[in-house]
């Protein structure tokens, strides 16, 4: 949905029905997107709701953006997620969470940065079960319990696979940084 404001490339929300249409169309996708960053569904929901609240509160304001409302929403959610991660003061000495976040922060042209390619390559070097565990946990936002049910393994096996994957990724990514 592209909404026109007074200036070309800007959006202006005129009424509740129009806002509800935007909300209904984008809300669930934005939550999935946010959850890939913060790895916590309630926090992801809070972030997305905050973006929509801000959008509603500023509905009379013209947003000067060059792209569609979808691009604006995804960018706003991404920025709030990165702020949330930073505000959590998560100790991430090897930038593991940041690297995973980079994988989901691709621009509309799907161009891959060097970091994205390196992380994707490192993940692809993992054994299939470990790689599947990483994908379920960090890209689909599944809990340890959900992963154990999906893979039909114990919770301890899931935890062990995650630890091994993190260790291997840190080692592989560390070697690449040093070369």
Same domain, 101 and 58: no
CA distance 109 to 119: 19
Asked, for residue 4, whether it belongs to a domain, the answer is no
Q: In the chain, at which residue ranges do the beta strands (DSSP E only) sit? A: 10-11, 63-64
Domain end, chosen from 68, 87, 106, is at 87
Q: Are 171 and 66 in contact (CB under 8 A)?
A: no
Same domain, 166 and 110: yes
pTM to 2 decimals? 0.49
Same domain, 21 and 73: yes
- What does each of the 179 residues of the chain score in pLDDT, given as a tens digit? 434 444 444 556 677 888 888 889 899 989 988 888 787 889 999 999 999 998 888 776 655 544 578 888 888 998 898 888 777 755 554 456 555 665 555 443 344 456 667 777 888 888 888 888 888 887 777 788 889 999 999 999 999 998 888 888 878 777 655 55
């Amino acid at each position: 949905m592209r909404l026109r404001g007074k200036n070309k490339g800007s959006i202006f929300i005129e009424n509740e029905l129009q806002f509800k249409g935007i909300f209904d169309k984008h809300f669930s996708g934005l939550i999935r997107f946010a959850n890939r960053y913060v790895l916590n569904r309630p926090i992801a929901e809070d972030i997305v709701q905050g973006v929509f609240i801000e959008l509603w509160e500023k509905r009379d304001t013209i947003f000067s953006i060059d792209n569609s409302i979808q691009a604006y929403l995804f960018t706003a959610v991404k920025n709030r997620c990165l702020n949330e991660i930073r505000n959590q003061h998560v100790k991430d000495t090897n930038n593991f969470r940041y690297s995973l976040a980079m994988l989901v922060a691709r621009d509309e042209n799907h161009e891959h940065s060097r970091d994205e390619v390196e992380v994707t390559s490192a993940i692809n070097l993992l054994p299939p079960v470990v790689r599947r565990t990483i994908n379920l946990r960090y890209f689909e936002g599944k809990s340890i319990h959900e992963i154990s049910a999906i893979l039909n393994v114990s919770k301890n096996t899931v935890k062990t696979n995650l630890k091994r994957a993190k260790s291997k990724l840190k080692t592989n990514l560390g070697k690449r940084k040093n070369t």
